[in-house]
Structure 1
Amino acid sequence: MLLGKVTGAVWATRKCEALRGQTFLEITYSGGVVVAADLVGAGLGDPVLVTLGSGARAGNTQLPVDAAVVAILDDSSTKRGEAHVHP
């Protein structure tokens, strides 16, 4: 899993049937950028939690993705108890 920020939306007019109706977001995190299926209705600028790999298909094993936004974050902290600055 990784913490990131929604920095854009991704559109595709032609896609496989399993992806019809699915929203995709561009997520920027400390290691770069990833495109993830939006499972929670996140918006531009939202700090989010992204799951990677087979966990991204939890709840819909037919969805052919390996990254999914699974939470919009209210807050997070570091080991020292300091507020985490989202990218």
Structure 2
Amino acid sequence: MYLGKVVGTVVSTTKNEALVGFKLLVIKKLDEHLGMTDNSEVVVDSVGAGVGEIVLVSKGSSARYVLEREKAPIDSAVVAIVDTVEVNG
């Protein structure tokens, strides 16, 4: 899992049937101090996140299970909207 910031959305009228009904978000990965990195990714939203929010992203087969679509072409999913982050040190 990693922390990310929602920086945009993706609209796709033609897509795999298993993705119908899901919102797609563009996420910029964050470092431990919540600074944006150069890495971005398109992920499936499972919690109703919006642009500007900090989120927790799950990767791999765990993402598919969260969305209850075990055979869907999903590699990453937003699983939480983050309220606060505390880093010691």
Query: TM-score, structure 2 length as denominator?
Result: 0.83
CA–CA distance in structure 2, aligned partners of residues 35 and 53 of structure 1? 13
CA–CA distance in structure 2, aligned partners of residues 22 and 64 of structure 1? 12
Q: Kindly, what percent of the aligned residue pairs are identical?
A: 46
Higher strand share: 2
CA–CA distance in structure 1, aligned partners of residues 88 and 56 of structure 2? 18
The two structures, once aligned, show a CA RMSD in angstroms of 1.2
- After superposing on structure 2, the runs of 4+ consecutive aligned residues of structure 1 that deviate more than 2 Å are none
**Residues 24-39 of structure 1 aligned to structure 2 (within 5 Å):** 24-29=24-29, 30=37, 32-39=39-46
Which runs of 5 or more structure 2 residues have no equivalent in the other structure?
30-36
1:39-63 Cα deviation digits (max 9, x unpaired):
0000010000001111111141133
2:85 is aligned with 1:76: yes
Is the partner of 1:71 in helix, strand or coil? strand
2:51 is aligned with 1:49: no
Number of residue pairs the alignment of both structures matches:
80
